[in-house]
Amino acid sequence: MASIRDYDRLIEERPVLEGPSFYSDNGQRRIVFQIWEWLDDRRYVFHLYITRQLEKEWQTFHTAGHYRAIRRDELTTILSQAGFKDIRWLAPADSRFYQPIVLAEAPRDS
């Protein structure tokens, strides 16, 4: 079982911003958002910002990583070539998880 972003849709839309989302746990408030800096059709730099409330101030954390978008049919092919069987996808409407999930049976040792 694995999950990936819905890159079939995101490659077409090429979003540049996700969020902000607001969270509060045990009186600890934070704001989370992402900036996507597209380098070409498939590659982007993912910037994650987390701003959290401290006692008398707010502190921001930033990290970034390079991502490559892969479509579901491409991952299906990769899994099949690696020997996985019974590969199937669950859409968010079916799984109630926010992004597509792939299920596959691992190759058995001979």
**pLDDT tens profile 29-44:** 999 999 999 999 999 9
Residue 110: the pLDDT is: 53
Q: Cα separation of 54 and 28, whole Å?
A: 8
Beta-carbon contacts of residue 42 (< 8 Å; ≥ 6 apart)? 11, 68, 69, 70
**Three-state secondary-structure class, residue 3:** strand
- Kindly report the pTM of this predicted structure: 0.82
Count of Cβ atoms closer than 10 Å to residue 97 Cβ: 11
26 DSSP assignment: T
pLDDT of residue 92: 95
pLDDT (tens digit, 0 to 9) for every residue of the chain, 110 residues total?
999 999 999 999 999 999 899 999 888 899 999 999 999 999 999 999 999 999 889 999 999 999 999 999 999 999 999 999 999 999 999 999 999 999 999 988 75
Tell me how far apart the alpha carbons of residues 76 and 79 are, in angstroms, rounded to a whole number.
Answer: 5
Taking the C-alpha atoms of residue 22 and residue 99, their distance in angstroms, rounded to an integer, is: 20
User: Domain-by-domain residue ranges, the chain?
Assistant: 2-105
DSSP structural state of residue 82: T
pLDDT at 24: 93
CA gap 76, 2 in Å, rounded: 12
